[in-house]
Amino acid sequence: MVFPDRIERTIELAHPPGQVWAALTTAEGLGTWFGNEATIDLRPGGLARMSWAGGPTVEMRVERMEEPTVFGFTWPIYGLPDDDPRRTYVEFTLEPVGAGTRLTVVESGFAQLPDDAYGKAYDGNTEGWARELSELVDYLDAV
């Protein structure tokens, strides 16, 4: 069985890269076509937040910014616990074509493994709960 590590899409837009760049990298743009509301601190390492009405809020970290050709960010992998360090990397590439723009989006990192799939992070978690529960039992026994 073969699972995708990366997803890639390319679309041709009738608008010049500058305009597409603004749609991708400003709070106003992101909050209009992507989410319902957005904030962004547009610099490598800066944080962006996007939320959907009645839905979740997603936090992104700006990783690459080469105006107006490359915009990259990382965000959490859907379905994994909040404290999971794994994130996918999303990169938009803008290429002028005539008066318009060829926009490519690549999201990669779906198939990455945790540092140790069977390791301490997870065992620590379950052990943590077992310990908490046994401490509770001890506490109740002592009362």
* Contact positions vs other proteins (CB under 8 A): 1-5, 7, 9, 11, 13-15, 19-20, 23-24, 29, 32-36, 52-53, 55-56, 58, 77-81, 84, 86, 88, 103, 105, 107, 110-114, 117-119, 122, 126
Smallest separation, CB 18 to other proteins (Å): 12
Structure tokens at 142: 């002592």
Q: How far is the CB of 29 from other proteins (least distance, A)?
A: 7
In this structure, how many other beta carbons lie within 10 angstroms of the beta carbon of residue 21? 23
Q: Which helix (H) or strand (E) holds 70?
A: strand 70-76
Element (H, E) at 8: strand 6-13
Residue type present at position 31? G
Q: Give 118 or 139: the residue with its C-beta nearer to other proteins.
A: 118
Indicate the residue among 3 and 139 with the shorter CB distance to other proteins: 3
What is d(CA 27, CA 56) in angstroms, rounded to the nearest whole number? 17
**Closer to other proteins at the Cβ: 41 or 116?**
116
